[in-house]
């Protein structure tokens, strides 16, 4: 009778009631003590066996799916390099599933790429996560790409951090070749990087660098420790801010100047951090390193600052009716007011953000490096 009763029980129903605590003691009394325990043991053994079978089936299914995925991955890899594929990739190391060739870059990617070029030639293909990359490591091939086929290779991959506030849609760096992109490049070449503009700011750049050298000399005389990197960074910011806005935005004696320096520095750190979401697009949803989140906060602060300066300059131009500063901002505003189709007013803050980010690195590495070489040569003599 007990066997028939136990076999007729709904196992899932019994265990749900036991775990909920509403059936525990009633079950023992109804089945008269020990016989109830025998029934429960049989139920538990039957349930445990069934759960183990389910787990084995689950792991078997996962193993089959993983094997099939690896097979498809390697099959697609070889098909891409097949001579019958019109879009076949250059030679390169065999990528691992999921991660690709990321671990081949090592801690010094430039040295790792040089070693790979010895094995696979001056043009090789790498798989960085889910992103395909072509590495060119010879002078003739670099000239071929950058000079003869520059239009085909001018498009830059949009990183996840650049999509905040739709910056990539108004950025001269990340826009694909289009009318808007050509107009922005034309404006930069004519009013920002023009020889006349650079000549006009030459004396100002020389004066700022001389102020830096004088400051270092004074610190040496009084025995004060100097953070050369920080001082050069401040000088670079002031050079650029004077060219663009005719003001020193990195003034260390003001709270706004210190805040601006910290903001620019944070932007450089965030943009210089490799983002795993750029190599594995599925991770963009969760933003594991919080890079997009931090970029959004910093970009909003920067855009707000530039919009404030633009509004103040427009108000000043309206009051005076003339161009008193005659700097880059005045030139951009004049273009926007004369021909809004060539440069929209809403695009100017994004363009300024691109110019600041590019100008800081270039100026600090090229211009100040030459000045410091002259300075140390003078000291040795």
Task: Work out the angle at residue 235's Cα, subtended by the Cα atoms of residues 233 and 237, and round it to the nearest 5 degrees.
Answer: 70
Distance, CA of 52 to CA of 48 (rounded, Å): 6
List CB contacts of 56: < 8 A, sequence separation 6 or more. Answer: none
Distance, CA of 203 to CA of 206 (rounded, Å): 5
* Among the listed residues 31, 32, 34, the one whose alpha carbon sits nearest the alpha carbon of residue 9: 31
H helix or E strand, kind and range, residue 261: helix 255-271
**Phi, psi (5° rounding) for residue 200?**
-65, -30
Residue 300 in contact with residue 166, Cβ under 8 Å?
A: no
pLDDT for 83: 47
List CB contacts of 129: < 8 A, sequence separation 6 or more. Answer: 98, 99, 100, 102, 276, 279, 280
| CATH architecture group of domain 160-380 | Orthogonal Bundle (1.10)
Q: Which residues of 325-337 are buried (b: 16+ CB within 10 A; e: fewer)?
A: bebbbbbbbebbe
pLDDT for 80: 56
Mean pLDDT per 10-residue run, the chain (381 residues)? 43 42 42 45 52 68 72 59 59 88 88 92 90 89 85 82 90 88 88 80 85 88 84 84 84 75 86 89 91 94 92 87 75 83 87 84 53 52 52
The boundaries of every CATH 1.10.630.10 domain in the chain are 160-380
Task: Work out the angle at residue 208's Cα, subtended by the Cα atoms of residues 203 and 213, and round it to the nearest 5 degrees.
Answer: 120
Residue 111, classed as helix, strand or coil, is helix
pLDDT for 38: 44
Beta strands in 48-200 (DSSP E): 123-128, 131-136
């Amino acid at each position: 009778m007990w066997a028939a009763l136990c076999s007729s029980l709904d196992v899932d129903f019994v265990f749900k009631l036991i775990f909920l605590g509403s059936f525990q003691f009633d079950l023992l009394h109804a089945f008269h003590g020990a016989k109830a325990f025998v029934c429960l043991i049989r139920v538990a053994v039957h349930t445990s066996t069934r759960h183990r079978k389910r787990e084995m089936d689950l792991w078997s299914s996962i193993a089959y799916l993983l094997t099939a995925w690896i097979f498809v991955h390697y099959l697609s890899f070889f098909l891409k390099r097949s001579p019958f594929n019109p879009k076949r990739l250059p030679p390169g190391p065999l990528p691992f599933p999921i991660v690709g060739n990321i671990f081949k870059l090592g801690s010094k990617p430039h040295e790792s790429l040089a070693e790979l070029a010895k094995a696979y030639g001056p043009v090789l293909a790498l798989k960085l996560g889910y992103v395909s990359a072509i590495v060119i490591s010879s002078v003739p091939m670099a000239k071929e790409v950058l000079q003869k086929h520059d239009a085909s290779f001018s498009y830059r991959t949009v990183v996840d951090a650049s999509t905040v506030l739709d910056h990539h849609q108004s950025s001269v760096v990340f826009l694909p070749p289009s009318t808007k992109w050509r107009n922005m490049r034309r404006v930069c070449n004519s009013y920002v990087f023009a020889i006349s503009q650079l000549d006009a700011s030459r004396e100002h750049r020389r004066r700022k660098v001389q102020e830096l050298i004088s400051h270092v000399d004074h610190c040496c005389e009084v025995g004060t420790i100097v953070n050369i990197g920080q001082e050069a960074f401040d000088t670079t910011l002031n050079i650029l801010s004077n060219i663009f806005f005719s003001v020193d935005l990195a003034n260390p004696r003001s709270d706004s100047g210190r805040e601006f320096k910290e903001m620019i520095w944070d932007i450089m750190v965030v943009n210089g951090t490799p983002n795993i979401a750029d190599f594995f697009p599925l991770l963009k949803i969760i933003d594991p390193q919080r890079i997009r989140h931090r970029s959004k906060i910093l970009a909003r602060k920067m855009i707000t600052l530039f919009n404030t300066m633009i509004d103040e300059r427009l108000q000043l131009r309206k009051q005076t009716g003339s161009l008193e500063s005659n700097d880059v901002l005045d030139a951009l505003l004049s273009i926007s007011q004369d021909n809004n189709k060539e440069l929209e007013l809403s695009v100017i803050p994004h363009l300024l953000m691109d110019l600041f980010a590019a100008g800081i690195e270039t100026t600090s590495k090229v211009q100040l490096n030459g000045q410091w070489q002259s300075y140390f040569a003078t000291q040795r003599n």
